[in-house]
Amino acid sequence: MQKLIWILWPSFVVAGIAEAVFFTLIDPQELYLFGEPANFSRIATYSIGFFAFWAVCAASSMFTCFIQRSSREINSCPLPKRERPRDCPKSEE
């Protein structure tokens, strides 16, 4: 849950800023999608744009969380102690 918030919340804030800057400078009616003018209403473009920004920023946050793991976290067995097989070399960890 904490990780989820770490990923979703900062990306939400940054997506909001990115959205404001991007659409202040660019009129959604001037955007092209696959080489054709995007025929969405402006409100729809703004909304979709926001979620696109959010998704991109969340991906970045997710990657940060992913590479932030310590070597102990990576090396240790993901199973809780009592669920590890008896002969597991890491059972004593």
Partner 1 sequence: MAQTAPQQEKAAAKVIPIQESSLYEAHKKIYARSVTGVFANWRWALVWITQTLYYGLCWVEWNGRQAVLFDLVERKFYIFGLVFWPQDVFYLAVLLILSALALFLFTAVAGRLFCGYACPQTVYTEIFMWVEKLFEGDRAARMKFDAAPLSVHKLSRKAAKHAVWAAIALWTGFTFVGYFTPIKTLAGSVMSWQLGPWETFWILFYGFATWGNAGFMREQVCKYMCPYARFQGVMFDPDTLIVTYDAERGEPRGARSKKADHRAAGKGDCVDCGICVQVCPTGIDIRDGLQYECIGCSACIDACDQVMDKMDYPRGLIRYSTEHAIAEHWGRKQIVRHILRPRTLLYGAILSAIVIAAAVGLTLRQPLKVDVIRDRATLTREVEGGLIENVYRLQIMNLAEEPRRFALSVTGLKGLQIDTDPIVEIPAAATQAVSVRVRVEPDAGKRGSNRIHFEIRALGHDDIFVREKASFLLP
Residues 7-36 that bind partner 1 (CB under 8 A): 9, 13, 24-25, 27
Which tokens in the block code for residue 16? Answer: 């909001």
Q: Answer for the pair 61, 5: CB distance below 8 angstroms, yes or no.
A: no
Taking the C-alpha atoms of residue 38 and residue 28, their distance in angstroms, rounded to an integer, is 8
Q: How far is CA 20 from the centre of its chain?
A: 19
Among 44, 55, 59, 77, the residue binding partner 1 under the rule CB under 8 A is 44
Based on the shown chain and the rule CB under 8 A, indicate whether residue 4 belongs to the binding site for partner 1: no
Least distance in Å: CB of 51 to partner 1? 10
Footprint on this chain of partner 1 (rule: CB under 8 A): 5, 9, 13, 24-25, 27, 41-44, 46-47
